[in-house]
């Protein structure tokens, strides 16, 4: 038996998504930039997908731009948002995905911006009061804060952040890669400048994502080379990926409530089972369901000689998950997220992340394997 609990890294593609993609790959091979009938048919597929995504997110189709994934979407929003609006200041947090954090840090190293990172508490909550102080007392800024942390699951109150950014005329970019398809995003009523998503986090294909750009915000292309995406993203479109993205998001929205109930139940059950099975087990991040992403559970295990071997032993036992620990003093390795929240570097941590395909039997199997590994090492 093998159990996959690394859905925050990527999810299995849904069969219905694959079937729609296969039709495009086999039959609709025209270049969407061609003016002949074969090209026009494919262009229609792209625009139908764009309209579907925009409808689900309560946005305009003209605000949806297809990218190669979340990383490109984040880079486009941050770099072009700062450069084209002549901003010299950015605010983010030390918990952001490296697609955001490294981009901002590189721009600071290049002398293009001054960067402030918000303080965070031991559960991964950013300091909203500090954000307001920085916005009030600094120059016009780009604010980049993710909707939910990919390691901890802790959610950021992006409605509150958006309201503050509106008050102080800041651009607001949110990486919603982890929450897209798992929560409703109503972009007509959320004053966000940029928002990023990636299909493979909600049972779509890898290599395709999108960037929402609010119609009130104008930027130049990040990638040049052609007139694709209304002159905003050069390169022949990943047509079957785009079709798969739209289908995956449609399925996610259609079944969101039932999937959320199922997955939250698995997360709660695993927490209970771990507390009963393993002494001194703890949980990183917010545990309140209202403040946490229901697909992610970050577990801190008792300090022991096994260290990084815990994840390796789990893999050998038939469990796929992600792991890490806080960075030790003077070390460049480890999780920047766990380090930022002050996690104990001597305690190994594992991120278990769930999907609609997981079962209670999966959880029982994983907890039993963890019990065997942990108790035999102490």
pLDDT per residue over 142-191, tens digit each? 999 999 999 999 999 999 999 999 999 999 999 999 999 999 999 999 99
Distance CA 121, CA 152 (A): 12
**CATH 3.40.640.10 is right for the domain spanning 15-254:** yes
DSSP 121-144: -TTS-B-HHHHHHHHHHSSS-EEE
Judged against a pLDDT cut of 60, whether residue 19 lies above it is answered with: yes
pLDDT confidence tier of residue 331, bands split at 50, 70 and 90:
very low
Q: What is the CATH number of domain 3-11+256-377?
A: 3.90.1150.10
Percent of the chain with pLDDT over 90: 92
348-365: average pLDDT: 97
Element (H, E) at 271: helix 256-277
Beta bridge partners of 349: 300, 324
- Are 3-11+256-377 and 15-254 the same fold in CATH? no
SS3 202: coil
Q: Give the contacts of 118 (CB within 8 A, at least 6 positions apart).
A: 91, 92, 93, 94, 126, 127, 130, 131, 134, 145
- In this predicted model, what pLDDT tens digit does every residue of 27-42 receive, in sequence order? 999 999 999 999 999 9
E-only strand ranges, the chain: 3-4, 64-67, 89-92, 114-117, 142-144, 171-175, 194-198, 209-213, 282-284, 296-300, 319-320, 322-324, 349-353
pLDDT confidence of residue 306: 59
Cα distance between residue 237 and residue 240, in whole Å:
9
Q: Which pLDDT value is given to residue 143?
A: 98
| Rounded-to-integer distance, Cα 320 and Cα 311, Å | 8
Q: What is the DSSP letter of 341?
A: T
Enumerate the domain spans of the chain: 3-11+256-377, 15-254
The gap from C-alpha 332 to its chain's centroid, in whole angstroms, comes to: 23
What integer pLDDT is reported at residue 304 of this predicted model? 65
Provide CB contacts within 8 A for 127, sequence distance 6+.
Answer: 118, 119, 120, 121
The secondary structure of residue 213, as a DSSP letter, is: E
Question: Minimum mean pLDDT among 107-121, 273-287, 319-333: which range?
Answer: 319-333
pLDDT at 329 (0 to 100): 46
3-class DSSP state of 47: helix
Please give the positions annotated as active site: 327
Chain centroid offset of residue 369 CA: 28
pLDDT band at residue 303 using 50, 70 and 90 as cut-offs: confident
- Rounded CA gap, 8 and 202, in Å? 9
Structure pTM? 0.95
- pLDDT tens column, 194-216: 999 999 999 999 999 999 999 99
């Amino acid at each position: 038996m093998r159990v996959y609990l690394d859905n925050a890294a990527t999810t299995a593609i849904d069969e219905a998504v694959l079937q729609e993609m296969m039709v495009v790959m086999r039959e609709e091979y025209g270049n969407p930039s061609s003016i002949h009938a074969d090209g026009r048919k494919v262009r229609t597929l792209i625009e139908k997908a764009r309209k579907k995504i925009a409808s689900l997110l309560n946005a305009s189709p003209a605000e949806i731009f297809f990218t190669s994934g979340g990383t490109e979407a984040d880079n486009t929003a941050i770099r072009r948002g700062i450069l084209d609006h002549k901003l010299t200041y950015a605010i983010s947090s030390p918990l952001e995905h490296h697609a955001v954090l490294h981009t901002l840090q590189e721009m600071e190293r290049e002398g293009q911006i001054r960067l402030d990172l918000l303080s965070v508490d031991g559960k991964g909550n950013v300091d909203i009061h500090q954000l307001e102080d920085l916005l009030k007392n600094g120059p016009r800024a780009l604010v980049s804060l993710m909707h939910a942390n990919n390691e901890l699951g802790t959610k950021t109150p992006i409605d509150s952040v958006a309201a503050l950014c509106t008050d102080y005329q800041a651009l607001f970019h949110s990486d919603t890669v982890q929450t897209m398809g798992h929560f409703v995003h109503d972009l007509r009523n959320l004053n966000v400048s940029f928002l990023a998503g990636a299909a493979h986090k909600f049972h779509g294909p890898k290599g395709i994502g999108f960037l929402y750009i609010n119609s009130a915000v104008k930027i130049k292309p990040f990638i040049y080379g052609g007139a694709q995406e209304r002159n905003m993203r050069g390169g022949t479109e990943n047509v079957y990926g785009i079709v798969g993205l739209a289908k995956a998001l449609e399925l996610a929205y259609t079944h969101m409530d039932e999937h959320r109930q199922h997955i939250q139940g698995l997360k709660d059950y695993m927490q209970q089972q771990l507390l009963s099975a393993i002494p001194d087990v703890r949980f990183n991040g917010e545990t309140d369901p209202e403040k946490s992403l229901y697909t992610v559970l970050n577990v801190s295990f008792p300090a022991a000689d096994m260290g990084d071997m815990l994840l390796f032993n789990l893999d050998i036992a038939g469990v796929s998950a992600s792991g890490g620990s806080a960075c030790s003093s003077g070390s460049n390795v480890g999780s920047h997220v766990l380090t930022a929240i002050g996690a104990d570097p001597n305690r190994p941590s594992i991120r278990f992340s769930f999907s609609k395909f997981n079962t209670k039997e999966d959880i029982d199997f994983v907890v039993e394997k963890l019990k065997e590994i942990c108790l035999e090492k102490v």
